[in-house]
């Protein structure tokens, strides 16, 4: 069970990394953007996410773990809506629902 918690943490860190990249992208100037603490922290999130993900792979099949990373897409979509009022209309809702339905079907134990 701890490996699935590590997988969830990896997904969450990947989503946080994307949010931080978006904040860093708002910094004027290309070099300032890349050396913004937001961007550097975003890269840090990705490094930690990769380490945690590798730990999760010790007992979770790659054919299950890798598609599970798609949950980060839905998480980022929802966070972007609340943080920057990005669209969360019917099209995004359907797409996010399909991703979650696919992940639920993949993890379903009969």
Is residue 52 within 8 A of residue 11, CB to CB? The reply is no
The CB density around residue 84, as the number of other CB atoms within 10 Å, is 11
Residues written for the chain: 110
pLDDT at residue 110 tops 80: no
Look up the pTM and report it.
0.91
Angle made by CA atoms 14, 55, 5, in degrees to the nearest 5:
65
Task: Find the helix or strand (DSSP H, E) in which 60 lies.
Answer: none
- How far does Cα 31 stand from its chain's mean position? 25
Q: What is the pLDDT of residues 39-73, one digit of tens each?
A: 999 999 999 999 999 999 999 999 999 999 999 99
Sorted by where each begins, the domain ranges of the chain are: 2-107
Mean pLDDT over the full length of the chain? 95
């Amino acid at each position: 069970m701890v490996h699935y918690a590590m997988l969830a943490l990896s997904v969450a860190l990947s989503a946080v990394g994307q949010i931080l990249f978006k904040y860093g992208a708002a910094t004027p100037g290309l070099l300032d953007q890349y050396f913004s603490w937001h961007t550097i922290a975003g890269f840090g999130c990705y490094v930690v996410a990769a380490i945690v993900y590798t730990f999760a792979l010790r007992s979770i099949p790659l054919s299950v773990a890798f598609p599970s990373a798609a949950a980060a897409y839905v998480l980022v979509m929802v966070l972007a809506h609340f943080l920057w009022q990005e669209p969360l209309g019917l099209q995004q809702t359907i797409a996010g629902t399909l991703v979650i339905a696919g992940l639920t079907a993949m993890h379903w134990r009969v």
